[in-house]
Chain A
Amino acid sequence: MPFRSLSDIKSQLDAGETTAVDVAKLYLDRIKAHNGDLNAFVHIDPPHVLAQAEASDAYRAKHAARPLEGLPIAVKDIFCTLDGPTRCCSNILEGFEAPYDAHVITLLKEAGAVLVGKTNMDEFAMGSSNETSAFGGCKNPWNTDCIPGGSSGGSAVAVAAGLTPAALGTDTGGSIRQPAALTGLVGLKPTYGRVSRRGIIAFASSLDQAGPMTRTVKDTAMITAVLSSHDSADSTSVVDAPSFDWLKACDAKDMKGLRIGKPKEYFIDGMDAKVRQLVEDALKQCEALGAEIVDISLPHTEYAVAAYYVIASSEASTNLSRYDGVRFGHRCDNPEDLEDMYARTRDEGFGSEVKRRILTGAFALSSGYYDAYYLKAQQVRTLISQDFKAAFEQVDVIATPTSPIPAFKSGEKTNDPLTMYLADIFTIAVNLAGLPGLSQPCGFVDGLPVGLQWLAPAWREDKILHAASAYEGATDWHTKSPFGFEPKQAGGNV
């Protein structure tokens, strides 16, 4: 059970072979057994989880099951929830309990999901290894010496280690796709504007988007179908976003007629050769499934990381101004005056990576530098969007590696932020252009999972689901589970 897909569990629940309470108990037991090592969850409230499961079973007894009835889903600590603390894995939100649910949390609840708990993440989603969390890093179950990627590292670990069948993450520059790739999962960043951002603690408003992390493509579609809903309280949530039948889009068995773009800027020297080979192999498999591989170019790709760090940091520098010790969260002891309160509160509350980005962003926006940094970065952003637009005139989808390298060792890059930033080199452009992107497993390098990334035009997640489903159907990478986390066979908690 623990490594079964969400849709399998749904089938069992629908068939009456198990109950939401039994499913919840199973995962709670696994969390109890493994979370101490992995540190995937930063907050769990087992009685509350069971209460939700009981309520779901009661609902199912009287009504037709809702789309996610009784299914356990963990959420990143970035989602505000009425229940329990919301910390964004930062000390600055010490003691904070949101008096509201994020809109997507409401949608999950309304769909019958059982919320399992809050997962670990890089502080304020700033990081690619989950090592900037105020609660400490979490471990990649495929190799516990390694990081799971970030910033949605806890969600990735929780699903990969079978502590929950699915989780929500957020993706500002790859924070869903990169950890999904590094832990062998499927993760989708939807088109910007498809999923409400209300109640999700903002990192970079023009880039943030929530999405699922699951074992299979269909599971991702199931959850995204629920999350895709206009929210009139989020002005960037698009009214009448183009939609389609999310589950049907996963029925594809082949890729006949599908034109897949292979951008040369994503297959480069300096990336891990084995990773590159696995993605090339995957594309060969796609060809065998009927796809046509088209060599394309996205010429402004090399500027994406620089532009991203200017834009994301600029937005973050002001989004994080509200953490000032005045109304909620951490406040320093015995401030001498207002300035001392601000300075010490924020110095004590924020970790070093968050401070680095606030400083970077404040600098980029400051008078005299705005044109050279922020404005220039926005111009690059436009060029990157145009690159994609031109490319999608030739092809239906684009395929790339998700990450240039597999999971690396904990602590290996923490003192070298620039190298760390390059971990997102293949995921960032998508956020700048607001496009959908999905990572799915396509093999292993030295026992560590590697991700294949699919990109599509805005609102065409269906094309991604088509390609990813067909590939998944022809491979078994998604069925692998990490050694050491198998369910105990005897006397145990199956």
Chain B
Amino acid sequence: MSWEVVIGLEVHCQVNTKSKAFCGCSTEFGAEPNSQTCPVCLGMPGQLPVLNRTAVEKSILTGLAINGRINLESKFDRKNYFYPDLPKGYQITQFELPIVEGGYIDIPTKDGEKRLGVTRIHMEEDAGKSMHEGLDAVSHIDLNRSGIPLMEIVSEPDMRSADEAIAYLKQLHQIIKFLDVSGADMEKGQFRCDANVSVRRPGEPFGTRTEMKNMNSFRFIKQAIDYEVNRQIELIEDGGAVKQESRLWDSVNNESRPMRSKEEAHDYRYFPEPDLPILRVTQEEVDAIRAGMPELPSQLRHRFETEFGLSPYDADVLTQTQALSMWYEALVAAHPVNPKQCANWLANELLGRLKDMNKDITESPISAAAFAVLLDRMEDNTISGKIAKDVLDAMMETGQSADEIIEAKGLKQVSDSGAIDSIIEAVIAANPEQTEAYRGGKDKLFGFFVGQVMKASKGQANPAMVNERLKALLG
């Protein structure tokens, strides 16, 4: 009998506000330890929180984007636990009444789209960082991160495989990037995931779940979930039982281990935060945020497919980031004759080259307008596709325009039939055996002659004309 995997995800996402959730300190990443702190985020006596309005707006925006319901009244609570990087001894969070409830994200699967539920999004504050490594008998604490606003996005237990979990996370990650509500840089801890994993026989109630923590890349998340699923199935099949626990993923040894029971045996003693009144937003404010919402990846994909005739694959590639989709749209605007050609060349040629340079589209050395000129030159037969790739290389390297490079290197395509004929005649003269064989019926040799002519023209001969004239002259 088969096993069914049940996965629910909790994503902690740093909201990219300028100042912290409850004080005016900067949220800039990478500053000197403890340089971005004040009495409020240091938890000093008598200091009080004041809620960051932008964090609220960005949380609402995210809620709208995942089709959630915005609670016009929500509440803050205290989550109590002791840890040196938690200055107040409690985290301000939303426990009972979060700002967003309900919602969903659609993911592509091989059986079509699947709708995955989002339970809630709540606002909270980040803790500082403890550093133990390389220190002897002491630990250091950096409270720059203390008080940075977070959204915790909690899914329903709707995923049935690690792949679905990853698809959900990628969609969510993309939405968040599009909305510009978070840097969502996983390496910087701006997008962190915990996964609740259980297995069951189909049709049976949920099995006991474990919580996988400390995963900061899609790859590790998939590995950790797969590992945990196998561990649980083996455990049960061997007659054992899954214990509800938190487990840490060890990406070095590719295994998870249970956290010490002390680390998880918390009674957080949640209760309403008396220092903050009920958070009230009006329907008008929510509507205004909705009106300012950018086009989401799913909407863009749909539009790229219908408006520009792109394949679902190309549409997906070009909507990975908002910057890329905007670049594509700028390219189409400058080269409107062939949107599909734009997509092919952007996705295959430019992005490939940028990837080799370890750059993303925002760092491209050439603009969409300059790239469009290159496509124009192919369209008007000034250069062939093959030459265009060389021109693109030169453009990337020098920043010069396509026309400058074509001119300077004399790469203009030869479309003069007289000139092409004389090259063909020279090739025929130089290859009497092959000419004989071709004329004797060996049609396959046609490609050989095309290659020779193109080589002799340094690739500049118009390929269509070469075909035409070769056929005529080879007879």
- Seen from chain A, the residues whose Cβ lies within 8 Å of a Cβ on chain B are 80, 86, 88, 93, 96, 98-100, 102, 197-202, 204-206, 232-236, 314-315, 317-318, 320-322, 324, 326-328, 338, 342, 362, 365-367, 370, 374
Which residues in B have their C-beta under 8 angstroms from that of A80?
45-46
B274 touches A235 (CB 8 A): no
**Majority DSSP secondary structure for residues of B touching A:** loop
Task: Answer whether A235 and B271 are a contact pair too, CB < 8 Å, given A93-B45, A322-B88.
Answer: no
B46 touches A315 (CB 8 A): no
Name the segment of B48-56, B220-228, B379-387 touching the other chain: B48-56
A102 touches B50 (CB 8 A): no
B39 touches A100 (CB 8 A): yes
B43 touches A322 (CB 8 A): yes
**Minimum CB–CB distance for B267 against chain A, Å:** 5
Q: How far is the CA of A314 from the CA of B77 in the complex (A)?
A: 13
Q: How far is the CA of A324 from the CA of B141 in the complex (A)?
A: 14
A366 touches B267 (CB 8 A): yes
Q: How far is the CA of A456 from the CA of B205 in the complex (A)?
A: 58
A362 touches B45 (CB 8 A): no
Q: How far is the CA of A100 from the CA of B48 in the complex (A)?
A: 13
Name A199's contact: one of B47, B271, B277 (CB within 8 Å): B47
13 contacts between A and B (CB under 8 A): A88-B45, A93-B45, A100-B44, A205-B274, A233-B50, A235-B277, A314-B271, A318-B78, A318-B80, A321-B88, A324-B89, A365-B80, A367-B267
A365 touches B269 (CB 8 A): yes
Which residues in B have their C-beta under 8 angstroms from that of A233?
48, 50
Q: How far is the CA of A367 from the CA of B269 in the complex (A)?
A: 6
A207's closest neighbor in chain B, by CB?
B274
Which residues in A have their C-beta under 8 angstroms from that of B90?
318, 321
A235 touches B45 (CB 8 A): no
B47 touches A198 (CB 8 A): yes
Extra contacts, 16 of them, besides A206-B274, A324-B89, A366-B269 (Cβ < 8 A), are A88-B45, A98-B46, A205-B275, A233-B50, A235-B48, A235-B51, A236-B275, A317-B80, A318-B90, A320-B89, A321-B80, A322-B44, A322-B45, A326-B87, A327-B44, A362-B269
Name B274's contact: one of A100, A201, A315 (CB within 8 Å): A315
Which residues in B have their C-beta under 8 angstroms from that of A320?
89
Q: How far is the CA of A88 from the CA of B276 in the complex (A)?
A: 23
Name A96's contact: one of B39, B43, B45 (CB within 8 Å): B45
A341's closest neighbor in chain B, by CB?
B84
Q: B206 at the A/B interface (Cβ < 8 Å)?
A: no
Q: Which of B146-182 contact A (CB under 8 A)?
A: none
The 10 closest A-B pairs by CB, nearest first: A321-B89, A205-B274, A365-B269, A206-B274, A199-B46, A201-B45, A322-B43, A367-B267, A326-B84, A322-B88
Q: Which of B236-282 contact A (CB under 8 A)?
A: 267, 269-271, 274-277
Q: How far is the CA of A86 from the CA of B45 in the complex (A)?
A: 10
Q: How far is the CA of A198 from the CA of B45 in the complex (A)?
A: 9
Q: How far is the CA of A232 from the CA of B48 in the complex (A)?
A: 10
Q: How far is the CA of A234 from the CA of B46 in the complex (A)?
A: 10
Which residues in A have their C-beta under 8 angstroms from that of B276?
235-236
Which residues in A have their C-beta under 8 angstroms from that of B84?
324, 326, 338
Instruction: Give the interface centre of A99, A205, A321, A327 by most chain B CB atoms within 10 Å.
Output: A321
Which residues in B have their C-beta under 8 angstroms from that of A199?
46-47
B48 touches A197 (CB 8 A): yes
A374's closest neighbor in chain B, by CB?
B271
A202 touches B43 (CB 8 A): no
Q: How far is the CA of A204 from the CA of B270 in the complex (A)?
A: 16
Q: B15 at the A/B interface (Cβ < 8 Å)?
A: no
B39 touches A318 (CB 8 A): no
Which residues in B have their C-beta under 8 angstroms from that of A327?
42-44, 87
Which residues in B have their C-beta under 8 angstroms from that of A198?
46-48
A311's closest neighbor in chain B, by CB?
B274
